[in-house]
Chains A and B, each alone.
Chain A
Amino acid sequence: MFLINCPFCGERDQSEFSSGGEAHIVRPKQPTELSDDEWAEYLFMRKNIKGVQFERWNHVHGCRKWFNVVRDTSNDKILSVYKMGEKPPVNYK
C-alpha cells in the first residue's frame, strides 16, 4: 500500500489506481509478419524485475488517465512519475 502522485490529480491512495504492468512494451507494427516466438515475447514474457521497474498505471477511480511510473518493486518506493508519450527518465537503470 502506497501513495501515487497522479500527474493530473496529485497524490492519491494506490487503491484508486489499477496497475497496467510493465511499460514500454510496444505493440507490433506489423502483426501479420510476427513469428510465434515474437508473439509469445510480446504477449506473455515479462521482465518481472525485483528492483527498479518501469510500469503503467491507470487512475481508474479518478481521472481515468494512463501514465507511467518508475517504482522499486523491492520496497514499493515510487521514484518518478511521467506522462504517456514522455521519454522515460534516464537516471534509473
Chain B
Amino acid sequence: MKNKYSVFSLIKNALSQHENWQQAWGNPEPKKEYDAIIVGGGGHGLATAYYLAKKHNLKNIAVLEKGWIGGGNTGRNTTIIRSNYLWDASAGLYDHALKLWENLSQELNYNVMFSQRGVMNLAHNLQDVRDLKRRTHANRLNGIDAVWLNTEEVKKFCPIINTSSDIRYPVLGGTLQRRAGTARHDAVAWGYARGASEMGVDIIQNCEVKGIKRNGDRVEGLETTKGFIKTNKIGVVAAGHSSVIANMAGLKLPLESKPLQALVSEPVKPIIDTVVMSNAVHAYVSQSDKGELVIGAGTDSYVSYTQRGSHNIVEETLKAILELYPIFSRMKMLRQWGGIVDICPDASPIISKTNIKGLYFNCGWGTGGFKATPGSGDLFAHTIANDEPHKLNAAFNLNRFVSGDLVDEHGAAAVAH
C-alpha cells in the first residue's frame, strides 16, 4: 500500500502538523467504459468493488454515488453487528460477515473500530422467551455463540436495566451474543473506498444514474448525470432507492421503502458497555465512543422517501427506553434523523442475478444491513464476477418469491434487526 497507516506514519505526520497526509481515495472523472459498474457508494457498494478488484481480478471498475460516499444509510444506522439469526441460510450469511468484521481493520489497514462488546436481546413476554430460546438453540447448532440469560443474569450483565416485575415491559430474560458488537460506520465506507481506490477502482461521487440502457435481454450501459457510461455488468446496491433503479430497467422488486429513525443523546460518561436490543418494543441502545447514547427506533408503516419519519414512532421508542432505563430520564437528545430502508416481505435480503443479463441486485436489507457490509460485498462480488451466486447467498435469490422458498426472519429476529 502506497501510504500505509501505522504508528510510524502517525509520528511522521505529527512532526509536520498533519498537513501532509495523502488523499485517501481519488476523485476521477468517469471513463467511457468499465468492465463492471457498482451503483451506490455506501458500505455495501464499496465493499463489492473492493472484493471484485481484490478477489476476482477485475480492475476496470467504477462505483457511482449520487451524493457522497457513506452519506446514505451507511452514515445513518445504529452500527449494530451480530449474526444470531434463526435460519441456516441467514446464519451462514451473517456469520460470514461477522468473521470478516473480526479482521477488517487489519485487512483494510484502516481502523473500523470494531468492538465486540456483545449484543443482548431482551424478552418481555412469554412468547419472546420461547422465540429467543429457540433462536439460541438454532444458533448453537450453526456454530454461532449464543446464551440465554435469566432476569438476574441480564441485570448483572447490564445493571442499569430496570428489571422490576411491575413495569410495563418486564424483563423475563434475554439472549447474549458475545462476539457481536458495533463498528464505526463512516470508517467502514472510508476504509473500503481507500482500499478499492488503491487497486484502481474509480469512485465517482455526485453522479446519479438516470437510466439503464438495454439491448434485448442484456444491459449495455448507464445514463448518468455525467453522461453515458458503457458496461455489460451492473451491480445495483442502492438500498432504499433500489426500486427506483429497478424501474429504469423495467423490473419490479418485492420491496417497500420506509423511513427508519435513530437518535443520539448528548455525550455522557460511560454508562452502558454493551448493545441492548428490545425488539418487541423497538428500543435499541448502545453508547458511542464519544459518549452519546445511540438509540434506534422502528419504521413508519407507509412507503416514503423522505429521510425523516414520524414523531410518534420516536415517542414510542423513548417511552420504552425510559421504562427500561429510568436513569436516562433527564438526558437530552442531540439529533434525530431517518434513513430509507428497503424491506422484503420475508425480512431477508436479495443478493441475486435478474432475468436481464448483466444486471445484479443487492437489496432488501431492510432495517439491518450494516452488520452484513463485508459479507454482502464479498458475496455480491462473487455473484457478479461468476454470474452465479456463492453457496452462502444462493438462498437469497429473487426467484424465492416465485418458488415460495422464503427465508422468513420476521419472527426470528423479532421485528427489527
> Residue of B at shortest CB range from A15?
B312
- Which B297-312 residues have a C-beta within 8 angstroms of A? 301-306, 309-312
- The answer to whether B403 and A36 have CB atoms under 8 Å apart is yes
Contact assessment for B304 and A44 in the assembled complex, using a CB-CB cutoff below 8 Å? no
Q: Count how many chain B residues have C-beta atoms less than 8 Å from C-beta atoms of the other chain.
A: 26
CA distance A73 to B243 in the complex (A): 13
A48 touches B253 (CB 8 A): yes
Q: With A1-B310, A46-B252, A48-B257 given, is the CB distance from A53 to B401 under 8 Å?
A: no
What's the least CB distance linking A69 to chain B, in Å? 9
B401 close to A45 (CB less than 8 A): yes
A89 to B172, CA, bound (A): 52
> Contact flags (1/0) for B205-246 with A, using CB distance below 8 Å?
000000000000000000000000000000000000101100
Q: Which residue of the partner chain B has the closest CB to A77?
A: B306
CB distance from B255 to the nearest CB of A (A): 5
> Which residues of chain A are near B304, meaning CB under 8 Å?
73, 76
Interface pair B402/A36, CB less than 8 Å apart: yes
State the Cβ distance, A50 to closest chain B Cβ, in Å. 5
Please give, as numbers and ranges, the residues of chain A lying within 8 Å of B257 by CB-CB distance: 48, 50, 73
In the bound complex, residues from chain A placing their C-beta under 8 Å from that of B403 are 36
Q: For the side of the interface on A, what is the size category?
A: 20 to 34
Q: Are A47 and B252 in contact (CB under 8 A)?
A: yes
In the bound complex, residues from chain B placing their C-beta under 8 Å from that of A18 are 301
Q: Name A40's contact: one of B241, B311, B402 (CB within 8 Å).
A: B402
A80 contacts partner chain B, Cβ-Cβ < 8 Å:
no
Verify A74–B247 contact, CB threshold 8 A. Answer: no
0 or 1 for each of B238-272: is its CB under 8 Å from A? (1 = yes): 00010110010000111111000000000000000
B interface footprint on A24-57 (CB within 8 Å = 1, 0 otherwise): 0000000000001101110111111110010100
Partner pick for A19 among B252, B253, B301, B401, CB 8 A cutoff: B301
- Tell me the bound Cα distance from A75 to B304 in angstroms: 8
Digitize A47-91: 1 where CB-to-B-CB distance is under 8 Å, 0 elsewhere: 111100101000000000000000001111000000000000000
B310:A45 contact, CB within 8 angstroms: no
- Minimum distance in angstroms from A8 CB to a CB of chain B: 19
Partner pick for A73 among B253, B301, B305, B345, CB 8 A cutoff: B305
Bound form: Cα–Cα A86–B222 in Å: 40
Asked if A19 contacts B345 (CB within 8 A), the reply is no
- Decide yes or no: A37 and B402 within 8 Å by CB, A19-B301, A21-B303 being known contacts: yes
A41 to B244 CA separation, bound complex (whole angstroms): 17
Say yes or no for A14: interface residue by CB 8 A criterion.
yes
Determine whether the beta carbon of A55 is less than 8 Å from that of B306: no
Give the distance to chain A from B282, nearest Cβ to Cβ, in Å.
Answer: 15
Asked if A45 contacts B252 (CB within 8 A), the reply is: yes
Residues of B within 8 A of A55 (CB): 302-303
**Chain B: minimal CB distance from A65 (Å):** 17
- Could you say which residues of chain B place their CB within 8 Å of the CB of A43? 345, 401
- Total of A-B residue pairs, C-beta within 8 Å: 70
Contact A45 B303 (CB under 8 A): no
B310's partner among A15, A22, A44, A48 (CB-CB below 8 A) is A15
- Contacting pair A50 B244 (CB below 8 A): yes
Contacts of B401 in A (CB 8 A): 40, 43-45
Q: What is the distance, in angstroms, from B94's C-beta to the closest C-beta of chain A?
A: 23
The 0/1 profile, CB within 8 Å of A marked 1, for residues 181-219 of chain B is 000000000000000000000000000000000000000
Bound CA–CA A1/B402 (angstroms): 35
B253 touches A45 (CB 8 A): yes
A37→B247 CA distance, assembly (Å): 18
Partner of B254 from A46, A73, A75 at Cβ < 8 Å: A46
- Please, which residue of chain A has its CB at the minimum distance from the CB of B246? A48
Closest residue of chain A to B302 (Cβ to Cβ) is: A19
CB distance from B361 to the nearest CB of A (A): 13
| CB neighbors of A among B303-354 (8 A) | 303-306, 309-312, 342, 345
Report the nearest B residue to A69, measured CB to CB. Answer: B302
Question: By the criterion CB–CB under 8 Å, are A76 and B306 in contact?
Answer: yes
Distance of B297 from chain A, by nearest CB (Å): 13
Q: Do A75 and B303 have beta carbons less than 8 Å apart?
A: no
Choose among B302, B305, B312 the residue that contacts A74 (Cβ–Cβ < 8 A): B305
CB < 8 Å neighbour of A46 from B243, B301, B404: B243
CB distance from A10 to the nearest CB of B (A): 19
Q: Cα distance A46–B251 when bound, in Å?
A: 10
**B241–A50 CB distance below 8 A:** yes
Chain A residues with CB below 8 A from B305, complex form: 50, 73-74
The 3 nearest A-B residue pairs measured at CB? A48-B243, A19-B302, A44-B254
Report 11 cross-chain contacts, Cβ distance below 8 Å, ordered by A residue.
Answer: A1-B309, A19-B301, A21-B256, A37-B402, A43-B345, A44-B254, A46-B254, A46-B256, A48-B253, A76-B304, A76-B306
